[in-house]
Amino acid sequence: MKVEIVDWQAVASWHWDLKDDSITDELCGICRVAFDGTCPNCKYPGNECPLILGAGCQHNFHLHCILQWLEQDTSKGLCPMCRQVFEFRKDFNTVTKDINSLLMLIDGHKSMRDREVDEEFDSFDDDLRMND
Amino acid sequence: MAALPKRIIKETERLISDPVPGITAYPDEANLRAFTVTMNGPDSSPYEKGIFDLELYLPDDYPMCPPKVRFLTKIYHPNIDKLGRICLDVLKDNWSPALQIRTILLSIQALLASPNPDDPLANDVADDWKKDEPKAIEVAKEWTAKYAKAKE
């Protein structure tokens, strides 16, 4: 029998290669899409929008999701799930433009917090001086 | 109009298939970001047996920003003003994208059960509340009976 292939379609499935599969089974806490799916702003999964693994806490997000959250002043640099200061595992991601933006945002929130603490100390100092 | 994010679709489906007890929320047909909400007053509160109408709107940057929620039914409560605006931390500075429509509606229901006159939005009501709490509770009950009736 002679078979002629007229048309064919390739189908592939996609999966993050992490040591711990329990992470990839989770949903992103912000957009609630599985990590093997994309964030709402991406069409294809991949290194453009990798997983960001929490370092201070154990909460993980799509890069674009956590980026968008930390861009808000109201986020105060905190993890959306547990409200601890958000830090991520830097050893885990190769540095891209968006990773750099994430680092800058986290830094910006940190100096904001430091400034607030300084101001509190200053006003405390003023109060002490007034009492003298 | 931009496509509705998957998260909003999922939240809407769950609100309808697995509603929060004592709360209904349905999206408007013309705008799926606008919800018509009804809330039962919590038991053993001055709002008991009342059914309150609210409107909830998901802004374009939801879930980075909180939903906008407002009471449509008149209510006598120190943290809810004449226009139905609600003073609740998670609707403002303490919003987090880990919260969602159902948790926000539960928080509002909890606010009905525990009014907080020390962080007032309706100053006159809060003053009444602090001066004579039993009387304020009576007024809240009267308003509930008068305005928050079930529709025939």
Q: What is the mean pLDDT of residues B36-43?
A: 95
Check: CB of residue B50 under 8 Å from CB of residue B40: yes
* Minimal-distance CA residue of chain B relative to A69: B64
Residue B3: pLDDT band with limits 50, 70, 90 = confident
| B137 residue type, one letter | I
Exposure string of B68-103, with b = 16+ CB inside 10 Å and e = fewer, is ebbbebebbbbbbbeebbbbbeebeeebbbbbbbbe
Instruction: Tally Cβ neighbours within 10 Å of residue B33.
Output: 18
Which residues neighbour A15 within 8 Å (Cβ) at sequence distance 6 or greater? A24, A36
- Cβ-based contacts under 8 A for chains A and B: 34
Round to whole Å and give the CA distance between A75 and B146.
41
Q: Is pLDDT above 70 for A89? A: yes
Express the helix, strand and coil content of chain B in percent, nearest 5 each.
35, 20, 50
**Residues on chain A touching B7 (C-beta within 8 angstroms):** 31-33, 40
Round to whole Å and give the CA distance between B37 and B41.
13
What is the percent of chain B with per-residue pLDDT over 90, rounded to a whole number? 81
- A32 touches B: beta carbon within 8 Å: yes
**Residues on chain B touching A78 (C-beta within 8 angstroms):** 96
Q: Where are chain B's structural domains?
A: 6-147
Q: ipTM score of the complex?
A: 0.81
Q: What is the mean pLDDT of residues A96-123?
A: 90
* Minimal-distance CA residue of chain B relative to A71: B64
Q: Where are chain A's structural domains?
A: 51-131
Each residue of B56-98: pLDDT tens digit?
999 999 999 999 999 999 999 999 999 999 999 999 999 999 9
pLDDT given for residue B29 in this prediction: 92
Q: What is the mean pLDDT of residues B107-112?
A: 96
pLDDT given for residue A101 in this prediction: 94
- Name the pTM for this structure: 0.85
Residue A85: pLDDT band with limits 50, 70, 90 = very high
Which residues numbered 91-130 in A keep a CB inside 8 Å of some CB on B?
Answer: none
Which one of B87, B104, B105, B125 is the catalytic residue? B87
SS3 state at B86: strand
State how beta strands B68-71 and B51-57 pair. Answer: antiparallel
- B64 touches A: beta carbon within 8 Å: yes
Ranking A14-18, A75-79, B21-25 by mean pLDDT, the lowest is A14-18
* B87 is an active site residue: yes
**Closest alpha carbon to B56 in B10, B12, B121:** B12
Residue B1: pLDDT band with limits 50, 70, 90 = low
The per-residue pLDDT of chain A, averaged, comes to 89
A30/B95 touch (CB, cutoff 8 Å), yes or no: no
Query: What is the CATH superfamily name and number for domain B6-147?
Result: Ubiquitin Conjugating Enzyme (3.10.110.10)
pLDDT given for residue B120 in this prediction: 80
